[in-house]
A and B are shown apart, each in its own frame.
Chain A
Amino acid sequence: MEASQLSFMLLVVPNRCRGCGLCELVCSILHGDGARPSASRIKVFKDRESYAFKPLVCLQCFNPECVKVCPKGAIYVDNRTGAKIIDERICDGCGLCAEACPFKSEDSVIFKHPSKRVYVKCDLCYQREGGPGCVDFCPSRVLVLRSGRV
């Protein structure tokens, strides 16, 4: 990665999420999966009984393990946004990236697509004019797009 590259990341404002799930639906539609939370690159952890909601997002690490570990070189860094993007044409679904993710959990932010053979993750909607769809649609202003230089 070049020195002093601009890189964006999604920040979650704590205690704001109300668990409506709109971000997941918008994300999956923008990535060609229809309205499908299981294919969403943003995952909302929902515990409705105790009213605990937390969106889980890829932090777009400055020093990304997923990029380093991919044996096919399928994960690349977008120049404009700094998003770490899986090239679905190259990915063979080995899953090493998900394993290597330091933030992996039950609702991992790098995960196998529910009906394709590839792994998927947040690409910050790098091609979308209005920026990430989840930020754009969140009615509670939970997500913030921040930039920094690496």
Chain B
Amino acid sequence: MQYGWIGTLLLIDLSAEKIKTVDTMKYAEDYVGGRGLAARLAWEYVPKEVDVFDPENPLIVMTGPLTGTPAPTSGRVVFAGVSPRVYPKPWYTHSTMGGFIGSELKYAGFDGLIIIGRSEKPVYIWIKNGEANIMPAEDLWGLTVRATVEKIRHRHGRRIEVACIGPAGERLVRYAAITHPPENASGHSGFGAVMGYKKIKALVVQGTGGINVAEPEHFLATCKYAMKLSCTGAVDYFLREEKGCNPICSHSCSVNCRIGTLISKVPRRFGDGEIEAYQVFCIGNIWVSSKPLAKYEGGGLRVPPITGWKPEDGGVELHMLCDDLGLDLWVLLTLQPWLVRCVEIGLNSLEGLILDPRNPIWFHRLLENIAYRKGLGDILAEGLRRTVDRLRKKLPNELIRLAEALEFAYGFPAHREGRIWDPEPLPFWIVSALMYATESRDPTICTHTSFLHLAELYLDNKEVFLSKLKPIAAKLWGSEKSIEPSFEHKAQLAIWCQHRHIILDCLPLCDFAFPRLIKPFRSREEWLAAEEIYGDLGVEAKLLSTCTGMKYSTEDLEIIAERIFNLERMILMEKFGRNRKMDEIVATHFKLPCSTDGTSITIKEFEKLLTEYYQARGWHKETGKPLPETLRRLKLNV
């Protein structure tokens, strides 16, 4: 009997209109699931130098062995393929999403999908209990996300899960999301445009099957333990259990976090009445806060604060509009300050459009113009980096530099890099920088709890933080110095974060809940007084082992993560020409002073650090390519 995994993947060829099944278990043991399995399949199915808008670019949808089980926060799914967002030239990357569709896919009998080819006419993919069909979707094409779902529900009933694209995906906007209503979205990597290119309007899934669990009693006991362990970590570092029940964003989520989802434009109270639904972050809403968010001045750059709109002033509508048009919400975080800066320095119109970026009604229209590619919207639909490339001659240098800072990482928005967004003093931002330099996308969006979020505790009391973390740092990252505000011994720490990140994306679990480097604390006082702070980094392996019946230790998972990271590196290098020079692109950004402590790094110092990182990875120090002995050690036959 198969435990955890279902054992079957669907290979859908839209050009040939053929559907085949593939055995998941061929790669499951060595690549687990989610991001790992997707990378292994990408090695096989992504052709060299393939363009993002090419029928041969596959769209991979992958769950993990824990998806659909009660493992806390496991209701996740990973999308992978060549991403249109990547600047200057698209390459392979991944994007994860919560919600319920991953679980439903497994209940319908499949671990994931590999979609190749391109349909001539709009279609949707209808998967129900072991069967998949390519269905005509001409009547759905052109509809917004909400209208699409309504129509599909009318046809197939309410017990279905839908992930679909809106007008933005249909028109190949480079940051078009795959939206899983009401609010989950795989947005950052722009895979909505890949779906749009393939003419897939929606994935519709219904399943009444189940997932076998190898050791039910032990698994449930581990889930219970993991629930207790993961009850904090999101946004607030301290326990919020008694403060009411916040919205969840994913199947099996037991964490009372504030990430949640935006539900209604009417302020609503949940649970014990502490939290209003619209005041939530990330998935739900950055836009609805009435406070101006994020501003930065330094290194000759000024990022104006994002205009905060109150819910009654249209903040909620803008947010919901993004979901409905199928746009990555994050683009607003780069676009709005950039447009405000245009106005601030006297550039009052662009391509004939008068700029009024602080006006929510004007912004509403702009978002529609982006999704429908009209006027200036058509240019902005290419992302800020490509926009300034196109308008380079018409723009002052400052605006070009600002765009380069806001989307510094291969066209992905800046995030947790210690400058524009989030307070990340040294040593945090340098770890973030090394991850940015060696990954295919913004890596920080999935590494919150592993390390970057700990900045909150560091800023609260540096001495306490360092004294408590040093024993852990020595044990896990090779030296006590790794946790100190310097550039020394940072490679091991960055690699550790990346590996823990991959483990989460493979099982999959939420990065706001895991890994549990430190245990939950009820209050600041409890944290300050605690002698023992270590959480449990073994819980992921325990969940996986008791669910699948295959014995994985934490060390096994870390080796698997290293294998997957090196495989992704090989995909980028062999198929997309990634090299050391491309890694170094991000170094310029970190010359800007950190907004929290004013620290920065020169290009030369960064290059030195990168060499240390390569050596710790077992990569060639000049090319950045995994050495043959590294690949052999990881049993990676590529």
- A: residues with CB less than 8 A from B are 15-16, 18-22, 25-26, 28-30, 32-39, 48-51, 114, 133, 136-137, 139-140
CA distance A2 to B211 in the complex (A): 41
Q: Is the interface of A mostly helix, strand, loop or mixed?
A: loop
Q: Does B277 contact A (CB under 8 A)?
A: yes
CB atoms of B210 and A28 under 8 A apart: yes
CB atoms of B107 and A18 under 8 A apart: no
Q: Does B252 contact A (CB under 8 A)?
A: yes
**Chain A residues closer than 8 Å to B75, beta-carbon distance:** 21
CA distance A133 to B270 in the complex (A): 24
Known contacts A25-B69, A36-B107; A16 and B271 CB within 8 A of each other: yes
CA distance A139 to B52 in the complex (A): 42
Q: Does B209 contact A (CB under 8 A)?
A: yes
**Shortest Cβ distance from B70 into A: residue:** A25
- B: residues with CB less than 8 A from A are 68-70, 72, 75, 100, 103, 107, 181-182, 207-213, 216, 219-220, 223-224, 227, 245-248, 250-256, 263-264, 268, 270-271, 277
Known contacts A20-B251, A35-B211; A137 and B270 CB within 8 A of each other: no
CA distance A37 to B207 in the complex (A): 10
**Chain A residues closer than 8 Å to B107, beta-carbon distance:** 36-38
CB atoms of A133 and B220 under 8 A apart: yes
**Chain A residues closer than 8 Å to B251, beta-carbon distance:** 20-21
**Chain A residues closer than 8 Å to B248, beta-carbon distance:** 18-20
A18, A26, A33: residue with the most chain B Cβ atoms closer than 10 Å: A18
CB atoms of B213 and A29 under 8 A apart: yes
* Contact pick for B277, options A30, A36, A51, CB 8 Å: A51
CB atoms of A15 and B271 under 8 A apart: yes
**Chain A residues closer than 8 Å to B246, beta-carbon distance:** 18
* Contact pick for B69, options A35, A48, A51, A136, CB 8 Å: A35
6 A–B contacts, CB within 8 A, in A order: A22-B70, A36-B208, A38-B209, A48-B100, A50-B263, A137-B227
Least CB distance from B548 to A in Å reads: 12
Q: Is the interface of B mostly helix, strand, loop or mixed?
A: loop
CB atoms of A137 and B223 under 8 A apart: yes
**Chain A residues closer than 8 Å to B245, beta-carbon distance:** 16, 18, 140
**Chain A residues closer than 8 Å to B268, beta-carbon distance:** 51
CA distance A119 to B224 in the complex (A): 29
Known: A38-B107, A136-B224, A140-B256. 16 other contacts (CB 8 A): A20-B250, A20-B251, A22-B70, A22-B72, A29-B70, A29-B213, A33-B210, A34-B213, A35-B213, A36-B209, A36-B211, A38-B210, A114-B208, A114-B209, A139-B72, A140-B245
Least CB distance from A84 to B in Å reads: 24
CB atoms of B220 and A26 under 8 A apart: yes
Least CB distance from B602 to A in Å reads: 48
Least CB distance from A35 to B in Å reads: 4
Least CB distance from B179 to A in Å reads: 13
CA distance A33 to B352 in the complex (A): 63
Known contacts A20-B252, A51-B264, A51-B268; A35 and B68 CB within 8 A of each other: yes
**Chain B residues closer than 8 Å to A136, beta-carbon distance:** 224
Least CB distance from A106 to B in Å reads: 9
* Contact pick for A48, options B72, B182, B252, B256, CB 8 Å: B182
CB atoms of B254 and A20 under 8 A apart: yes
**Chain A residues closer than 8 Å to B256, beta-carbon distance:** 139-140
**Chain A residues closer than 8 Å to B209, beta-carbon distance:** 36, 38, 114
CA distance A38 to B210 in the complex (A): 8
**Chain A residues closer than 8 Å to B181, beta-carbon distance:** 48-49
Least CB distance from B510 to A in Å reads: 12
Least CB distance from A136 to B in Å reads: 8
Least CB distance from A31 to B in Å reads: 10
B75, B210, B219, B256: residue with the most chain A Cβ atoms closer than 10 Å: B210
* Contact pick for B70, options A33, A35, A48, A50, CB 8 Å: A35
CB atoms of B254 and A22 under 8 A apart: yes
B107, B182, B208, B248: residue with the most chain A Cβ atoms closer than 10 Å: B248
CA distance A18 to B246 in the complex (A): 7
CB atoms of B216 and A30 under 8 A apart: yes
CA distance A37 to B211 in the complex (A): 10
**Chain B residues closer than 8 Å to A49, beta-carbon distance:** 181-182
Least CB distance from B109 to A in Å reads: 12
CB atoms of B270 and A15 under 8 A apart: yes
A21, A32, A39, A133: residue with the most chain B Cβ atoms closer than 10 Å: A21
**Shortest Cβ distance from A142 into B: residue:** B245
**Chain A residues closer than 8 Å to B255, beta-carbon distance:** 139
